[in-house]
Structures are given as C-alpha cells and as structure tokens.
Amino acid sequence: MLVCAFLCAAAFSQDVGAPPDVTNAPEKPAPAPSPAAKETTEVVDGKVGFIYDLPEDWVAQDVKGPSSKVAFGRKQDGNPANITSSLISTSHTLDEDAANYLAALRANFEKKGYTRIEAVPQSKFDTASGQSGVRFIMQAVQGNGKTVRQTCYIFERKDGKKIGVICTAVDRGDNYDAAFDAIMKTFRVVK
C-alpha cells in the first residue's frame, strides 16, 4: 500500500485547484468519442507501456514525471479534462491494487481539504482489444466549491506491474464518463 500511496500521490500531485472557467458552457453531457467515425491521434507511452487513441478534439503533450504523456480534452470546452498515468509496482491482484489506489486517492483528497468525498465502487472494465482491467470513480468538492471527479482505470502489464490511468474533470466530471470510457476502450498494453 505504501508503494501505491506514493505513486498515487505522485500521480495526483498535479493540482486541479485552478480549473478552466466552464461556467458559461452548455450543461449537456460530453458526447462519447467514436474513434471509427472521427479522426484520432494515437498516444504512445513507451515509458509506462501503453497506447490509446484520442478523439480529434483532444491533445496529448509530453511531460516529465511518472508518465511521459498527458492528454487534455475537449478543446470546445476549454480543455477542462485530462488523462494521466503511472506505473504501479506491486505483486497484488488488480482488485487489491484498485482498493489500495482508491484508499490513497481518498487520503489525498482529505489531505487537500476536499469535502463530500464519494466513491463509486470498482467494476470490471474490458477494452476493445480484450485487455481486462478495473474501473472506479472518486469525486469530491474542492475548497473553491467546484467538484473534481476522477475516473480511474487499472490494467496489468505482461510483467505483472500495473498501469494506473486517472481521468480528471472539474465541475462537469460526470459529463465525461462516456468520453473517458470510450477513450479507455482503445487502451492497449504493450509491455
């Protein structure tokens, strides 16, 4: 759990306390991207060992840290969402790592002073390529009154290490659930 807590803290160290202003954006759900129907960009992270496809209204940027890529989306919403990842080095099962990740995320939210912390229990998540993983959601209210929602996915590499993917949106997070799921359906582990 200590390893997971350290990695989760590193993965969640990006402060989402200054989200883009989306107060004037329409209050409708973000449409799920359809990689077959739209132009996509392939995101390759050789450091952690995965590939996934981003819809045309998302961008990926190289960064320093636990992962080498961060995705930002939807351009028309002012890029209020992001996708980050980290490598989890444990010998636990996917379910155990998901439970540890969830506990570390809750502790991180509490440390930041977030309130109304809620978790959606983990469930099995399968990608289009047949990669099995787990998915869970953590949501809380920040000090500025905005709700942060993180949808997390964990997949196992061939070497037994796990890849934790954190999809974050502020204030309209539940509107991104379908978009995050559609993007993660394209996820492929390459190590």
In this predicted structure, which of 11-20, 104-113, 167-176 has the lowest mean pLDDT? 11-20
Give tens-digit pLDDT for 138-175: 999 999 999 999 999 999 999 989 999 999 988 776 78
List CB contacts of 40: < 8 A, sequence separation 6 or more. Answer: 33, 53, 54, 55, 56, 186
Q: What whole-number distance in Å separates Cα of residue 160 and Cα of residue 96?
A: 13
List CB contacts of 123: < 8 A, sequence separation 6 or more. Answer: 134, 135, 136
pLDDT for the residue numbered 13: 33
Give tens-digit pLDDT for 76-90: 776 579 999 988 888
- Domain boundaries along the sequence of the chain: 2-14+63-189
Q: Is the pLDDT of residue 111 over 60?
A: yes
Task: Report the percentage of the chain scoring pLDDT > 70.
Answer: 76
pLDDT for the residue numbered 38: 62
Q: For 34-59, what is the mean pLDDT?
A: 82
**Residue 5 backbone phi and psi in degrees, to 5:** -60, -40
Mean pLDDT for all residues in the chain? 78
In CATH, the number for domain 2-14+63-189 is 3.40.1000.10
Q: What whole-number distance in Å separates Cα of residue 128 and Cα of residue 183?
A: 10
For residue 114, which amino acid is it?
A: Y
State the burial class of residue 64 (Cβ atoms within 10 Å of its Cβ: 0-12, 13-18, 19+): exposed
In DSSP terms, 178 is beta-bridged to none
Q: What whole-number distance in Å separates Cα of residue 100 and Cα of residue 83?
A: 20
Spatial contact of 77 and 58, defined as CB atoms under 8 Å apart: no
pTM of the model: 0.77
Task: Report the percentage of the chain scoring pLDDT > 90.
Answer: 41
